[in-house]
Amino acid sequence: MKKILFLVLASCFIAACNDSNPVGDPIEIINDIYDLPEQGASQWANDYIVNLYEESGSYITYHPTQADFVWTYGPAPTYAPRDTIMAGDPQYVEPLLRLLDSIWISGLTPEGKRGNSLPYRILLADKMWTYNERTGLYVNIPAKVTGRSIAFSGVNAEFGQMTQQQKDALIVSFNAVIRTDYYEATGLTPFPEEFYTVTDWAALKTASGGFPNDEDKLQAGVMPARTWAVVRPGIPPTYGWRYASWWTPYVGGDPWTPAGPEQWNPMDKDNYLKLLFQAPDSEIQPYLDAYPKIKEKWDMLLDMYESINFDPRTLANATVLNP
């Protein structure tokens, strides 16, 4: 049995701190928490989990507890946790684990796995809920970053019964949490500010009499979004490329106010990052070959992830995702 060493911050020992260990510094208390492999999953899943731990130091548990889910740095919160996790039936671990490997873990180099590109632990659960302050109701969430962990739902029979469209939507949700809530929010991938200066917003605002067409946008370095096309019963769903409605030259107001980079930049960034994770080379390459500004921005984002030894293009090419 492979023992996992779990590092916990313990504020109850602050009184013992001295000048070499000032108040607020974490105190490491080592406890045996999990045995690897855990029991109940397939042989493939257990072998994968053990191998990943030996390679990276990151461990996966499919018996997560509520304490695991709400654990965070510092003293325990004084309020009741409003997020809830439910462990799943271990027989359904393998399908979810194979999905996470294909859309995320397989894109990491050995150096990336040994670095910070994987969280300290990954929780696999049946379902998770978070409290919605506005409605006063608990709502299902597919994934969540909590402390040094990422939790994913899907250890259940329903996961294997999803339509391709439902599974693709789940993958997009997983990617958003990994990309935004883990890599970006933790500072692992600081976004290059030069990305914003490449786009020729000035030319875009005056092109075609102030109402730029698709070619004007491409020349300026603006990519279309990859979106669902019409879905018909009995026909596999397809997707298409189009510019979303936010590419209007105006924002709301009375009178209407001309839009500018402050409105466009955040959405342009989000669109590029989605494409980086989801659109295969066969669809992206024509844009990179024909439009220098698009290629320049694209390469900046690849360099950003290369800094943590992670290649999102591996994921986009391994599984052709619909939006």
- Return the bridge partners of 61, or none: 123
Residue 315 counted as domain residue:
no
> Are 205 and 151 members of one domain?
no
Q: Is residue 42 one of the residues assigned to a domain?
A: yes
30 and 110: one domain?
yes
**Is residue 158 domain-resident?**
yes
What is the chain's length? 323
CA-based max dimension of the chain = 71
pLDDT at 71: 55
- Which of 130, 149, 184 delimits the end of a domain? 184
| Same-domain status, 156 and 207 | no
| Paired sense of beta strands 127-132 and 137-140, if any | antiparallel
- Domain-terminating residue out of 184, 217, 234: 184
CB atoms within 10 A of CB 284: 21
- Whether residue 316 lies inside any domain: the answer is no
Q: Three-class SS of residue 19? A: coil
Cα dihedral sign, 155-158-161-164? negative
Contact 46, 73 (CB under 8 A): no
Beta strands per DSSP E along 37-82: 59-61
Asked if residue 145 and residue 40 are part of one domain, the reply reads yes
Please answer whether residues 53 and 36 qualify as being in contact, where contact means their C-beta atoms are separated by less than 8 angstroms.
Answer: yes
Q: Are residues 111 and 171 in the same domain?
A: yes
| Residues 16, 164 share a domain | yes
Q: Give yes or no: residues 278 and 221 share one domain.
A: yes
Q: Which residues pair with 127 in a beta bridge?
A: 86
Return the sign of the alpha-carbon dihedral for residues 268, 182, 114, 44: negative
Tally of structural domains, the chain: 2
Residue type, 230: V
Write down which residue in 184, 206, 240 finishes a domain. Answer: 184
Question: Same domain for 18 and 150?
Answer: yes
Cα–Cα distance for residue pair 288/275, rounded to 1 Å: 13
Residues of the chain short of pLDDT 50, as ranges, are 2-32, 72-80, 230-231, 237, 250-256, 320, 322-323
In a domain, 140, yes or no: yes
Residue 121 maps to a domain: yes
Q: Are residues 203 and 284 in the same domain?
A: yes
Same domain, 65 and 137: yes
Residue 160 and residue 33 in one domain: yes
Q: Taken in order 196, 294, 291, 247, is the CA torsion positive or negative?
A: negative
- The tokens for 77 are 């919160």
Helix, strand and coil in the chain, % to nearest 5? 45, 20, 35
Residue 319 lies in a domain: no
Q: Measured between alpha carbons, how far is 152 from 141 in angstroms, rounded to an integer? A: 9
- Are 294 and 223 in contact by the 8 Å Cβ rule? The answer is yes
Residue 271 and residue 216: Cα distance in Å, rounded? 17
For residue 45, give its domain range. 2-184
Using one digit for the tens of pLDDT, what is the confidence trace for 253-302? 444 455 667 778 888 898 899 889 888 898 899 999 999 999 999 999 99
d(CA 75, CA 89): 32
d(CA 287, CA 7): 47
Determine the pLDDT at residue 287. 94
Exposure string over 214-235, b if 16+ CB within 10 A, otherwise e: eebbbbbbbbbbbeeeeeeeee
Same domain, 169 and 207: no
- What pLDDT does residue 10 have? 35
- Cα 182 from Cα 144, distance rounded (Å): 9
Q: pLDDT at position 28, please?
A: 32
Q: Within a domain: residue 320?
A: no
